[in-house]
């Protein structure tokens, strides 16, 4: 099919992001699947597009995109950025393949839930942060040829990050500073120096499956970014390490927020030089009639396992004579009781 070429400027006037996205969607609705887009920094290009026939592949070649190229892009979307891309490449990627043939800005692959992102250069701060894995879908992959900026992979809950540390010279860490803070799931493969990792993770050696995954994955990655010649250099697995969430035994002991602020955050408290901070936490959840939802309990379904009682974050559930009662003054309608109940005995309904 003929490629649809779009210049995102008209008579030297840049067209808006919204107009460009509408134009692309109109062409998709007419049946177009292949796009070449010369952008002027417009945002969200090729993200979250629905082809009428969901099995149709949508192909994009993009130059000079703005932020969030491929954000929330779905399965069967294939994006190649010629040159570098700005922040949020593949934000919340939902199944697309995204190739950046240069560097990527901050927060590349942030929140990615599925699909693959391939970066031929470096990425900025907070890249790979909050990646996750819903077992209903294939886990997300995020491949970087060189290094990431600081705070990379923080709060990672699932998925796979691969940082090849190519041409990183004297960098003290190919993952930047304070990487992996709050990481609870997933795996990161790293080649090159790493330091200043969060204490919630541990560094281990590769096993047979890891090497197999990298052998196959690196082949695909290097082909996508036109760097096949690096394959033998990057497959010396004694140069690689694996980062995973620390086992329970190795995790640091939990401490109170007040103690954390006093001894581990800024030593004097966040604004210690200006105001006194006693570590008190202000609770902002809406309860009572300000809630949007309220849980209802069905006695006939309940088996009395107490899961709801033990998991309610607000201690709102009380057991009285084998009946479970949610106290309006404490309940925020969060729905956790409904989610944990094995018998669907709680049902949270909108009350507005
Ligand atoms: S909705 Fe949330 S706060 Fe309310 S009872 Fe259930 S778990 Fe507790
Ligand atoms: S979790 Fe469900 S079954 Fe268990 S006590 Fe609560 S309502 Fe009953």
As a whole number of angstroms, the distance between CA 167 and CA 290 comes to 55
Q: What is the mean pLDDT of the chain?
A: 90
In contact, 107 and 91? CB cutoff 8 Å: yes
As a whole number of angstroms, the distance between CA 68 and CA 74 comes to 14
As a whole number of angstroms, the distance between CA 62 and CA 84 comes to 10
Answer yes or no: do 61 and 161 share one domain.
yes
Of 185, 189, 171, 65, nearest in space to 129 by CA: 185
* Strands ordered across the beta sheet of 4-7: 4-7, 34-38, 58-63, 77-82, 94-100, 114-119, 141-144, 157-163, 185-191, 240-245, 201-204
Q: What is the pLDDT of residue 278?
A: 65
**Which range of residues forms the domain containing residue 292?**
288-350
Of all ligands present, the nearest one to the C-alpha of 313 is 1
In contact, 157 and 132? CB cutoff 8 Å: yes
How many domains, in total, are found in the chain? 2
The verdict on residue 99 lying in a domain is yes
Answer yes or no: do 214 and 294 share one domain.
no
pLDDT band, very low/low/confident/very high, at 269 (cuts 50, 70, 90) = low
Residue nearest to atom 4 of ligand 1 (CA): 331
Point out the ligand 1 atom lying closest to the alpha carbon of residue 285.
Answer: 3
Residue nearest to atom 1 of ligand 2 (CA): 341
Question: Is the CB of 326 within 6 Å of ligand 1?
Answer: yes
The verdict on residue 150 lying in a domain is yes
pLDDT tens string 51-82: 666 778 999 999 999 999 999 999 999 999 99
pLDDT tens string 10-55: 778 899 999 999 999 999 989 899 999 999 999 999 987 766 667 7
Q: What is the pLDDT of residue 52?
A: 64
Question: Is the CB of 287 within 6 Å of ligand 1?
Answer: no
Residue nearest to atom 2 of ligand 1 (CA): 334
Q: What is the pLDDT of residue 279?
A: 62
pLDDT at residue 165 greater than cutoff 80:
yes
Higher pLDDT, 247 or 173: 173
342 Cα: distance to centroid of ligand 2 (angstroms):
7
pLDDT tens string 273-318: 566 666 666 667 788 888 888 999 999 999 999 999 988 888 899 9
pLDDT at residue 258 greater than cutoff 90:
no
Point out the ligand 1 atom lying closest to the alpha carbon of residue 308.
Answer: 7
* CATH code for the domain in which residue 324 is found: 3.30.70.20
Q: What is the pLDDT of residue 220?
A: 98
Six token digits for residue 236: 């010396």
Q: What is the pLDDT of residue 237?
A: 96
Answer yes or no: do 293 and 187 share one domain.
no
Q: What is the pLDDT of residue 169?
A: 86
The verdict on residue 251 lying in a domain is no
Answer yes or no: do 191 and 318 share one domain.
no
Point out the ligand 1 atom lying closest to the alpha carbon of residue 293.
Answer: 1
Q: What is the pLDDT of residue 304?
A: 95
Question: Is the CB of 307 within 6 Å of ligand 2?
Answer: yes
The verdict on residue 96 lying in a domain is yes
* CATH code for the domain in which residue 20 is found: 2.160.20.60
254 Cα: distance to centroid of ligand 2 (angstroms):
29
pLDDT at residue 265 greater than cutoff 80:
no
pLDDT tens string 193-238: 999 899 889 999 999 999 999 999 999 999 999 999 999 999 999 9
Distances (CA, A) of 7 to 16, 40, 66, 71, 78: 12, 9, 14, 20, 19
Answer yes or no: do 34 and 159 share one domain.
yes
In contact, 179 and 198? CB cutoff 8 Å: yes
Answer yes or no: do 104 and 192 share one domain.
yes
Answer yes or no: do 164 and 52 share one domain.
yes
Q: What is the pLDDT of residue 99?
A: 98
Answer yes or no: do 172 and 45 share one domain.
yes
The verdict on residue 267 lying in a domain is no
Point out the ligand 2 atom lying closest to the alpha carbon of residue 309.
Answer: 6
Of 4, 9, 5, nearest in space to 31 by CA: 4
Higher pLDDT, 260 or 349: 349
Answer yes or no: do 197 and 313 share one domain.
no
336 Cα: distance to centroid of ligand 2 (angstroms):
11
Q: Which of 220, 245, 270 is the last residue of a domain?
A: 245
């Amino acid at each position: 099919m003929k490629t649809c070429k779009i210049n995102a400027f008209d008579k030297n006037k840049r067209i808006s992001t919204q107009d460009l996205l509408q134009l692309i969607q109109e062409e998709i609705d007419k049946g177009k699947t292949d796009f070449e887009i010369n952008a002027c920094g417009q945002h969200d290009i090729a993200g979250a597009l629905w082809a009428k026939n969901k099995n149709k592949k949508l192909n994009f070649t993009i130059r000079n995109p703005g932020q969030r190229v491929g954000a929330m892009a779905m399965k069967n979307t294939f994006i190649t950025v010629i040159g570098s891309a700005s922040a949020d490449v593949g934000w919340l990627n939902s199944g697309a393949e995204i190739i950046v043939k240069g560097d990527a800005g901050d927060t590349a692959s942030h929140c990615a839930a599925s699909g693959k992102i391939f970066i031929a250069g470096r990425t900025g701060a907070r890249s790979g942060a909050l990646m996750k894995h819903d077992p209903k879908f294939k886990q997300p992959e995020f491949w970087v040829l060189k290094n990431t900026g600081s705070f990379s992979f923080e709060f990672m809950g699932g998925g796979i990050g691969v940082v090849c540390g190519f041409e990183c010279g004297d960098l003290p860490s190919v993952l930047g500073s304070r990487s992996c803070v709050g990481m609870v799931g997933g795996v990161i493969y790293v080649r090159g120096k790493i330091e200043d990792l969060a204490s919630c993770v541990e560094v281990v050696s590769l096993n047979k499956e890891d090497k197999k995954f990298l052998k196959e994955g690196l082949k695909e990655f290097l082909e996508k970014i036109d760097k096949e010649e690096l394959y033998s250099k990057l497959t010396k697995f004694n140069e690689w390490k694996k980062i995973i969430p620390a086992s329970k035994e190795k995790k640091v002991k939990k401490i109170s927020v007040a103690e954390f602020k006093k001894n581990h955050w800024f030593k004097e408290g966040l604004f210690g030089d200006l105001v006194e901070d006693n570590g008190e936490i202000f609770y902002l959840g809406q309860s009572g009639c300000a809630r949007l939802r309220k849980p209802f309990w069905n006695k006939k379904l309940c088996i009395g396992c107490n899961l709801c009682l033990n998991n309610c974050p607000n201690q709102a559930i009380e057991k009285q004579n084998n009946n479970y009662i949610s106290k309006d003054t404490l309940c925020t309608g969060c729905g956790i009781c409904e989610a944990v109940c094995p018998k669907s005995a709680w049902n949270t309904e909108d009350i507005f």
